[in-house]
Amino acid sequence: MTGAAPPALLRMEGITKTFGSARALDGVDLTLRRGEVHALVGENGAGKSTLVKIMTGAYHRDSGEMWLDGERVDFDTPAQAQAAGVCAVHQEIHLLTHRTVAENVYLGREPRRWGFVDWRRMNHETGALLAGLGLDIDPRAVVGTLNTARQQMVAIARGVSLGAKVLVLDEPTSSLSPREVTILYDLVRRLKAQSTAIVYISHRFDELYAICDRVTVLRDGRLVSSHDLASLDRLDLVCLMLGKSRDALRAGTTAFGEQRHAPAASLTAPQPPLLRTEAIARGSRLRGVSLEVAAGEIVGVAGLLGSGRTETARAIFGAAPSEQGAVYLGGRRLDPQSPDDAIAAGIGFVSEDRKAEGIIPELSIRENLTLAALPMLTRFGIVSRSRQVEIVERFMRRLGIKAASADQRIRELSGGNQQKVLLARWLCTEPRLLILDEPTRGIDIGAKGEIQALVNELAASGLGVLMISSELEELVEGSTRVVVLRDGRSVAVLQGDEISQQAIIHAMASERAPAAQDAAS
């Protein structure tokens, strides 16, 4: 693979990395050329992030070699890598949440005057940098007060401003809105023109085909192959990733399959809906959302970033109880004041931030999976071990959770598998209503399909599902109805054939309040 043509800027060979008993990388090679955008793809847990963390000195490889500009290099710390021109914007945003945007951008190379940090210049230059990128972010804002998308853009701005030779972007778009994605594309092209090599990791194939030149595929920690992207069609790429033959794959973009839009049986019966909210409101973010979910129905929730989708979910679940309006479940007024109330009434909630609000990292899969169901597994104050084991085995099998054993710590699992465990956490409480906030964010195409198919199956068996998603495809193909939110209010309900990407975008974006800036492109 050491082609004669353009000389390699960075070359990694035979990289191996083991975590405890799990081999994350096994003899992986990667070659980057100047001015190329190199896609790195693979399922969750294939080892993409691990590879780039080794490249940027965040992890230490067990064996293998690395060359930069033809010289052997060995980065012990990210600082060394940065000094050599290898930088990364990592998958989990790593910013200082209590510090300002400017401090984050300039951390480690603050402008100084007579040895003292020159705040004015730092703020000023950060402002200029952000404006140059088309971002309207106050350099003095504290990062923690920005929403995820803006934080992501700050992280990217920092990466760009470092002026690296090699820039890694690990799933940069997973929480960006279309407008910011466009900004990112521009950036990538500009850097490419300056002959920076870019490693681009994403689970969204559209993006790969839009900006990447070459692709390296990893599977289970091993190198599958590297190709020019132009010579590889989507289906072939998916085949390489999943290690399956072409025939084995279905054609649809999502796995919601044939049943989509099929009204559930109960919908036709003259019953009260399973869930009904009446103009629920809380603070300035949630200002009146009314929606209904029937048993056996998947109701999608669409909206721009900050439109109040997560707040809606949290209000229904009692995590941030609504201050006005009403929540009815099964015809009875519920108005949950805490998650306990909601859980007792049969509601489950998979939150959008797996790491912060989902997993208990140090606990095993078994304990994580059964956490919400513990009261049901307890007899005379003692948790029934055998029932616990039985449930865990059943759900691990049913959801295809990949792990060494049920006793493995959940933090060692890939994102997709963590998500499945969290789904299982709720499924084993046998809920009537499941709220899913971005259930497939950051999840590879294979696992995504599995989760989508699972949701579909659950709905078919009578569960009501409220599904928040930023991926319009997922909403269009999966939902029986789509509720569109705007500025904390429900503004439209699309049903049956009305559901289309254009219709949703139109409803999301029209009559936007002037304050909102994240307009869809």
Partner 1 sequence: MTGAAKPARVAAPPSPPAWRRLVPGPAYAAVAALGVLVALNALFTPNFATASNLWNVLLQVSTVVLVAVGMTLVISTGGIDLSVGSVMAIAGAVAAVLLDRGMAVALPAALIGGTLVGVLNGALVAALRVQPIVVTLATLIAGRGLAQVISHEGELVTIDHPGFALLGRGHLGPIPYQALIALASVAAGVFLLRATPFGRYVLAAGGNPAAARLAGVPVQRTIVSVYAASAFLASVAGLIVASRLGASDAAKIGQNMELDAIAAVVVGGTALSGGRATVLGTVVGALIMQVIATSFNMLLVPYSWSLALKAAIILLAVYLQRPKRV
Partner 2 sequence: MSTTSLPSVAGSRFTGARALGLLLRSGAVVALVAACIFGAMRYYAFATPENVVNVLRQNSMLGLVALGMTFVILTGGIDLSVGSLLAVAGVVAAMLSTHGSLPAIAGGLGTAMLLGIVNGVLIAKVRIQPFIVTLAMLIAARALALAATAEQSVTVSPDASALSWLGRGELGPVPLPVALLVLAYLIGWTMLRYTRFGRYLYAIGDSEDAARLMGLPVDRIVIATYALSGALAGLGGIVLAARLGAGQPVAGTGWELDAIAAVVVGGTLLTGGQGGAGSTLVGVLLLGVIFNLFNLEGTISPWWQWVLRGVFLLGVVIVQGRLQRRLTHE
Q: Which amino acid is at 181?
A: V
In the bound state with ligand ATP, the residue whose beta carbon lies nearer, of 145 and 378, is 145
In the bound state with partner 2, the residue whose beta carbon lies nearer, of 141 and 279, is 141
In the bound state with partner 1, the residue whose beta carbon lies nearer, of 232 and 286, is 286
Q: Which single residue is written with the structure tokens 């201050």?
A: 323
Contact assessment for residue 139 and residue 101, using Cβ atoms and an 8 Å cutoff? yes
The entry of Mg ion, partner 1, ligand ATP, none near residue 397 (CB within 5 to 8 angstroms by kind) is partner 1
Neighbours of 307 (CB within 10 A): 26
Alpha-carbon span 108 to 117, nearest angstrom: 11
Q: Which of 202, 310, 480, 490 binds Mg ion (CB under 5 A)?
A: 310
Residue 355 DSSP code: H
Shortest gap between Cβ of 146 and partner 1 (angstroms)?
A: 19
Residues 430-459 touching partner 1, rule: CB under 8 A, are 449-450, 453-454, 456-457
Q: Which of 75, 106, 256, 349 binds partner 1 (CB under 8 A)?
A: 349
Examine residue 98 and tell whether it contacts partner 1 (CB under 8 A). Answer: no
Q: Dihedral angle at the C-alpha atoms of 96, 158, 202, 256, nearest 10 degrees?
A: 60
Examine residue 394 and tell whether it contacts partner 1 (CB under 8 A). Answer: no
Alpha-carbon span 279 to 463, nearest angstrom: 23
List residues binding ligand ATP (CB under 6 A). 19, 22, 24, 42, 44-50, 91, 145, 147-148, 285, 303, 305-311, 352, 412-415, 444, 470
Shortest gap between Cβ of 126 and partner 2 (angstroms)?
A: 11
Contact assessment for residue 462 and residue 294, using Cβ atoms and an 8 Å cutoff? no
Please list, in sequence order, all residues whose beta carbon lies within 8 angstroms of the beta carbon of residue 22, skipping any fewer than 6 positions away. 404, 412
Q: Alpha carbon of 389 to those of 224, 365, 382: distances in Å?
A: 36, 11, 14
Shortest gap between Cβ of 298 and partner 1 (angstroms)?
A: 14
Helix (H, G, I), strand (E, B) or coil at 261: coil
Shortest gap between Cβ of 208 and partner 2 (angstroms)?
A: 25
Determine the interface stretch with partner 2 among 29-37, 99-107, 240-248, 487-495 (rule: CB under 8 A): 99-107
Alpha-carbon span 1 to 14, nearest angstrom: 13
Shortest gap between Cβ of 361 and Mg ion (angstroms)?
A: 16
The entry of ligand ATP, partner 1, partner 2, none near residue 46 (CB within 5 to 8 angstroms by kind) is ligand ATP
User: Cα 222 to the chain's mean position, in Å?
Assistant: 23
Walk across the sheet containing 347-350 and list its strands. Answer: 347-350, 433-437, 464-468, 298-302, 481-486, 489-495
Contact assessment for residue 404 and residue 45, using Cβ atoms and an 8 Å cutoff? no
Neighbours of 326 (CB within 10 A): 14
Examine residue 107 and tell whether it contacts partner 2 (CB under 8 A). Answer: yes
Contact assessment for residue 266 and residue 468, using Cβ atoms and an 8 Å cutoff? no
Examine residue 112 and tell whether it contacts partner 2 (CB under 8 A). Answer: yes
User: Cα 491 to the chain's mean position, in Å?
Assistant: 26
Alpha-carbon span 44 to 220, nearest angstrom: 9
The entry of ligand ATP, partner 2, partner 1, none near residue 289 (CB within 5 to 8 angstroms by kind) is none
Q: Which residues contact partner 1 by CB under 8 A?
A: 19, 21-23, 45, 59-60, 220, 317, 319, 339-340, 343, 349, 351, 356-363, 367, 371-372, 374-375, 378, 381-383, 385, 396-398, 400, 402-405, 425, 449-450, 453-454, 456-457
What is the contact surface with partner 2 in residues (CB under 8 A)? 56, 58, 77-79, 81-83, 88, 90, 94-100, 102-104, 107-108, 110, 112, 115-117, 119-120, 122-123, 140-142, 158
